[in-house]
Amino acid sequence: MAEESPTQSSSQPVSSPEDTSWYVLHTYSGYEDNVARNLKQRIESMGMEDKIFQVVVPREKKIRVKNGQRRVIEERLFPGYVLVQMIVTEDSWYVVRNTPNVTGFVGSGTTPTPVSGQEVDRLLKRMGENEPKYKIDVQEGDSVKITDGPFKDFDGKISEVNDSKGTVKVLVNVFGRETPVELDYLQIKKGA
């Protein structure tokens, strides 16, 4: 077990004391936010701010198109898991593992296994991205099928790609004429 560190201020989380590590908690799927909220309340009520520092539900922003409207949603990266930065002592381990809907720590045997610092940094960086990235794998002249919106199931040809907005202009044959239609890249499928 790690030795206890000097008491830290509860209003300011510790960024990286030498003896803290990140651990992964396994929870019932769908209860990640509930576990994080309950654990934060337990940390405060039991005075564990000097041993348990951060509780994070890993999320990522994604773009979804529904009924022609683009929406940015936050999606859990690892359903059923919560990250906790803590110093493992008998007391801190007791508080965490006895939080409702926590099924245990990820690790072998009875000792929790810390996650590598590089992996946590990579995950936190991925979560910190404000805008989701557009991945447009089409270019002018490509044939596409429209998958959403008023022109659903129409075939067309890309006439323009706007990487910064995540949109494309597709030439669609309507009543014998080529009509340009601006669509979100999520509303098309390559290779009509």
Q: Tens digit of pLDDT for each residue in 63-81? A: 776 665 677 778 888 899 9
Total count of domains within the chain: 2
Domain of residue 97: give its range. Answer: 21-128
For residues 190 and 28, what is the distance between their CA atoms, to the nearest angstrom? 38
Predicted TM-score (pTM) of the model is: 0.62
Please tell me whether residues 147 and 63 are part of one structural domain.
no
Residues 67 and 124 in one domain: yes
154 in the same domain as 81: no
Residues 25 and 100 in one domain: yes
pLDDT of 96-120, one tens digit each?
A: 999 999 998 888 777 788 998 898 8
| Rounded-to-integer distance, Cα 35 and Cα 167, Å | 38
Amino acid identity, residue 32? E
